[in-house]
Amino acid sequence: MSDSIENLLERRAILGPAYRLFYDEPLFPVQGEDVWLTDHTGRRYLDAYNNVPVVGHCNGAVVQAMSEQAQTLCTHTRYVHDAVLDYGERLLAHFPKYLNRVMFTCTGSEANDLALRMAFAVTGGQGVIVTANAYHGVTHLLAQLSPSLGAIGDFVRVVQPPLTQSEDAAQAFAQEIRAAIQSLQDAHIKPSVLLFDTVFASDGIFAPDVGLLGLGIDTAREAGLLIIADEVQAGFGRLGSDWWGFVSAGFKPDIVTMGKPMGNGYPLAGVVAKDDLVQKFADTGRYFNTFGGNPVAMKVGMAVLDELEQRNLPEQVDTLGETMQEALLGLKDLGVVEVRGKGLYWGVQLAATDTQTAAERVKLVVNEMRQQGVLLSQCGPNMDTLKIRPPLTFTQQHIEILMQTLSAALQKQCLVNVK
């Protein structure tokens, strides 16, 4: 390396202070391979955090598909091309039949923004209901309905996310939605959309089973709202062989948005919806995304699907998820309050101690893990939850390394004086 970490950190001034780094001792990775990142000193880290490289860092098949198409042609959707149709059809084959239209963007933010534009056009309203610590993206519109980023817009109402599978939680969720709709109506804002991340990631991680969300969704739908399932976090098999959070949760969204893992790092995202919604949106004007749906993006997307399908990764996630759950529950004596999640998306909420808040403990554990060679992160409205979200090429052996390191970190940093 030509540059020291210190020098790189100084040079980062050109990006401005809105950019943040992970870890007290920031990581400088120089190479990625499957579930491993190697830093500038040559040290390898087990990646239990990054969901974007869903089929592994620098997946050879994906890189090859990208390179070959980039050498051949990279244009846009105003010309006819087979790749956008081949990929669109393959993607839709993973959805229920009624979700029969797909539109392509470059980022999950663009996908959520487009989904909302569509819903606004269809319902004629702009009132949006999201969960209390939601994150849906960085556009002007999405920042206003992402309470985890700060202040929300006056057209937005928040509901508590249902983080327990129970009849009471189902009733409470429906009641919150009922109240949010009423509040919008009282303010003369027409309710338009119920939008939520199907694994409630920024709310602290929870993967609902069938029965939890139905009552709330029915309540919203009866009031004329459309349901947008944000699958940017949960989608593409992260929760297992159901492929999508909304399938695991047993409901039928009107619109589904997706992004992060879709191109294994290539900027690829999209919106899937019912044909009548897409038709009504088109009545308000055309849509064109310069890079969205380009042949390189589409070939990359197909290579990701190939890997997921041919290696049965979502099916393997079912088994790995059971192992993870059992192993994480085994940490209960080490100051763990709750373990939430499914498949390869887990939140481990820690308890406070006499001298530390839960958030401080989580931060210590995350930094200790990084020092011990395992990468994970922190989430939740109070930042009291460890966030574990590895590539889907994770194996039982990787889980063993993760759990041994996590157990040791919890023992070292946090065992004493748990409240």
> Phi and psi (nearest 5°) for 339?
-115, 120
Cα distance between residue 56 and residue 264, in whole Å: 8
Give 190 or 287: the residue with its C-beta nearer to a second copy.
287
Give least dist CB 74 to a second copy, A: 4
The edge-to-edge listing of strands for the beta sheet with 44-47 is 29-33, 36-39, 44-47, 374-375
Give 241 or 382: the residue with its C-beta nearer to a second copy.
382
* Three-state secondary-structure class, residue 395: coil
Give 323 or 372: the residue with its C-beta nearer to a second copy.
372
Cα distance between residue 273 and residue 282, in whole Å: 13
Q: List C-alpha distances in Å: 308 to 113, 181, 291, 393.
A: 27, 39, 24, 9
CB 418 within 8 A of CB 392: no
Q: Which amino acid is at 103?
A: M
Token pair in block for residue 236: 């593409």
Q: What share of the chain is helix, strand, coil (3-state, %, to 5)?
A: 40, 20, 40
Residues in Cβ contact with 195 at an 8 Å cutoff, skipping those fewer than 6 apart: 112, 115, 116, 128, 129, 130, 134, 136, 145, 228, 230
Give 161 or 263: the residue with its C-beta nearer to a second copy.
263
Give the CA angle between residues 91, 391, 351 to the nearest 5°: 120
Give 67 or 396: the residue with its C-beta nearer to a second copy.
67
Token pair in block for residue 207: 């993967």
Give least dist CB 20 to a second copy, A: 5
Strand partners, 377: 387
Give 288 or 397: the residue with its C-beta nearer to a second copy.
288
Cα distance between residue 121 and residue 40, in whole Å: 49
Give least dist CB 281 to a second copy, A: 6
Give least dist CB 244 to a second copy, A: 18
Give 119 or 352: the residue with its C-beta nearer to a second copy.
119
Give least dist CB 86 to a second copy, A: 9
Give least dist CB 102 to a second copy, A: 6
Cα distance between residue 229 and residue 207, in whole Å: 13
Helices and strands in the chain: count of H runs, count of E runs: 13, 15
Q: At what angle do helices 82-92 and 295-310 cross, to 10 degrees?
A: 40
Looking at the chain, how many residues does it have?
A: 419
Q: Catalogue the E-assigned strands of 74-203.
A: 101-105, 127-131, 156-159, 191-197
Give 298 or 331: the residue with its C-beta nearer to a second copy.
298
Give 56 or 343: the residue with its C-beta nearer to a second copy.
56
Give 6 or 168: the residue with its C-beta nearer to a second copy.
6
CA neighbor of 105 nearest in space, from 273, 274, 344: 273
Give least dist CB 41 to a second copy, A: 12
Token pair in block for residue 44: 């390898």
CA neighbor of 76 nearest in space, from 300, 298, 302, 295: 295
Give 126 or 353: the residue with its C-beta nearer to a second copy.
126
